[in-house]
Amino acid sequence: MKKTNQRNHLMDSNSDMGLTTREMQSKLVAKDTPHYYEVIIKSHPNGIPQIHCGQEKDAIDICQRYPGSDYKKIYLPHPPETVNVTHISVAPDPELPEQKILPESDLEPFIPDFHD
């Protein structure tokens, strides 16, 4: 019988739930280097020469809409790096003073069902 942590399955080393196993963690890793798809359109009615897509199925769909078009996979020049960004705490924004557009004597009460 397996020991299970009843409170939190993510902290349980024996649990199949969560992302604790190497097998499950490897599913999260990207298998391909960063890329996008460029569709070269030969006969777009508005004269658009190319469209960029993030997924191949979108590029194929565009090629089917515009016969004679072609697409290619473009790899980014270098993989993006993770960077640490520092933050600065600032004071809360001061509130703006109330603006009165009309003088008090010209204000009219709002009547919901009244129409001019």
Model confidence at 93: pLDDT above 80: no
Report, as an integer, the average pLDDT of 53-66: 93
Tally of domains in the chain: 1
Separation of alpha carbons 26 and 19, rounded Å: 9
Q: Could you tell me if residue 40 is inside a domain?
A: yes
11's tokens: 């902290």
pLDDT of residue 116: 61
Q: Could you tell me if residue 83 is inside a domain?
A: no
Separation of alpha carbons 115 and 89, rounded Å: 50
Question: How does the average pLDDT of the chain come out, rounded?
Answer: 77
Q: Could you tell me if residue 101 is inside a domain?
A: no
Q: Could you tell me if residue 59 is inside a domain?
A: yes
Q: Could you tell me if residue 48 is inside a domain?
A: yes
Q: Could you tell me if residue 90 is inside a domain?
A: no
Q: Could you tell me if residue 65 is inside a domain?
A: yes
Model confidence at 60: pLDDT above 70: yes
DSSP state of 68: T
Model confidence at 58: pLDDT above 90: yes
Task: Tell me if the pTM is above 0.85.
Answer: no
Weakest mean pLDDT among 43-52, 73-82, 92-101: 92-101
Q: Could you tell me if residue 58 is inside a domain?
A: yes
Could you tell me the residue range of the domain that residue 62 belongs to? 31-75
